[in-house]
Each structure stands twice: as structure tokens, then as C-alpha cells.
């Protein structure tokens, strides 16, 4: 029994090695340790969520208690920079009341090899996204210094310039989130375009 308990503890402490594994572990934690506790655990110190304006997740969730029922979510695709240091997952979610939607989350590799999310957002849908056993995995092609940009507030670029993302939030709370991936020498392709309407008043 002791070796088994040790093995389980070791597995729990092992960082997720891919952004898809991180997303699944994050969703699983929400069910076991609490939704907002998991959001805090898996986010970087400067992580942002939209409420509807961008807000630091740790400030926004500081005094919030975990809801008794949690959102269930799953990845459908993962876009990863060539150097493997930045990724954007997208997928579906379902609330306890049965409503469904989608999310897009930016993940950043940490010094210990694990992952933390730095931007999280999404919106509702009329029909749920599928729940694939193997989410689509797309890795950027490896040609350096394509973007040659400096990340500004509301944007980010992988260290090798092969993946870039940005969001634009209007005063009414509507926003756009875009992810661009390097596909060939000096060529990129937009792989995610999320357009979120202003919240109802």
C-alpha cells in the first residue's frame, strides 16, 4: 500500500508536460479542489480573465468561494509554438444548468517544465463542441524571427516568434481574441478568432 500511495503522490506532484495535459488537469482539479481554487492554482501571477474588462485573476478571485457545482470543460485543439514555450488551447464547456460554450486559454511553460495559464476567455454557444479523445494538436513551423514584434499590453509572442496572440476589449465589454501561427517561411495563419459580444445589460 505504501508504494502505491507514494506513486499516486508523485504523479500528482508531477507537472503536466503538454498544454493539453495541463488543461485536463486544470479541469479535473476544478471538480476536486473547487473551481476558483483551481483557477488560482493553475494561473500565473499576472494571469488575466475578462469580467468583462480584463482583470487580474488573483485579485478578482481573492475572496470568492468555490461554487458548489462547477463548470465542466475539455480541450478540442491546441496550438503550440515551435519552441514549445507558449500554447493556446481552445475547447468546449458545459455549466451545471446545461448551458454550453467555448473557451480559449493561453498557456505558458514554467521553469519547472509545467504550465500555467496567462489569459482565459470564452463565450456561450447554442450547440456544445465535441469532446474528442485526442484533441487536434498543431505546432508552429520553425523559422525564427517572423513577427519581429514587441509584445504590448493585451498581446504576447513566443520567444521564437512562431506564435502570437492578442485581445482587444471595447468599453462595452465586447472583445476580440486572435491567435496567429507560423506556417512557412515568413508566412502565418490565423488559427483562432474569437468575437465576444458585449454582455447583456
What range defines the domain where residue 29 resides? 17-196
State the pLDDT at residue 164: 94
134: in domain: yes
pTM (two decimals): 0.89
Q: Kindly state whether residue 71 falls inside one of the protein's structural domains.
A: yes
Note whether residue 1 is domain-resident: no
Mean pLDDT per 10-residue run, the chain (201 residues)?
38 72 98 97 97 97 95 98 96 97 98 96 96 96 65 86 94 96 88 94 73
Q: Is 7 part of any domain?
A: no
Taking the C-alpha atoms of residue 200 and residue 60, their distance in angstroms, rounded to an integer, is 20
**Does residue 107 belong to any structural domain of this protein?**
yes
Collapsing DSSP to helix, strand or coil, 98 comes out as: coil
3-state class of 199 per DSSP? coil
Cα(197)–Cα(129) distance, integer angstroms: 19
Asked if residue 69 is part of any domain, the answer here is yes
The HSE-up count of residue 187 (CA atoms within 13 Å, CB side) is 4
Q: What is the CATH number of the domain that holds 144?
A: 3.10.450.50
For 4, 143, 200, the CA distances from 105, given in Å and listed in that order, are: 34, 24, 23
d(Cα 3, Cα 46) in Å, to the nearest integer?
38
Question: Is residue 90 assigned to a domain?
Answer: yes
With vertex at residue 128, the alpha carbon angle to CA 125 and CA 131, rounded to the nearest 5 degrees, is: 140
- Number of domains present in the structure of the chain: 1
Residue 193's pLDDT is 97
Is position 12 within any domain?
Answer: no
Amino acid at each position: 500500500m505504501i508504494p502505491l500511495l507514494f506513486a499516486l503522490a508523485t504523479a500528482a506532484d508531477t507537472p503536466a508536460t503538454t498544454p493539453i495535459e495541463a488543461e485536463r488537469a486544470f479541469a479535473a482539479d476544478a471538480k476536486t479542489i473547487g473551481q476558483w481554487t483551481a483557477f488560482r492554482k493553475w494561473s500565473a501571477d499576472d494571469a488575466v480573465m475578462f469580467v468583462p474588462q480584463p482583470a487580474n485573476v488573483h485579485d478578482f478571485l481573492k475572496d470568492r468561494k468555490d461554487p458548489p457545482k462547477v463548470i465542466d470543460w475539455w480541450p478540442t485543439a491546441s496550438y503550440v509554438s515551435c519552441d514549445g514555450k507558449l500554447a493556446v488551447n481552445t475547447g468546449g464547456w458545459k455549466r451545471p444548468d446545461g448551458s454550453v460554450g467555448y473557451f480559449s486559454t493561453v498557456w505558458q511553460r514554467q521553469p519547472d517544465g509545467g504550465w500555467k495559464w496567462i489569459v482565459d476567455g470564452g463565450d456561450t454557444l447554442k450547440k456544445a463542441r465535441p469532446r474528442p479523445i485526442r484533441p487536434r494538436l498543431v505546432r508552429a513551423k520553425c523559422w525564427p524571427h517572423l513577427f519581429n514584434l514587441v509584445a504590448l499590453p493585451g498581446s504576447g509572442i513566443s520567444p521564437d516568434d512562431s506564435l502570437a496572440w492578442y485581445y482587444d476589449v471595447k468599453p462595452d465589454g465586447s472583445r476580440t481574441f486572435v491567435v496567429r501561427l507560423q506556417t512557412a517561411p515568413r508566412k502565418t495563419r490565423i488559427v483562432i478568432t474569437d468575437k465576444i459580444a458585449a454582455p447583456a445589460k
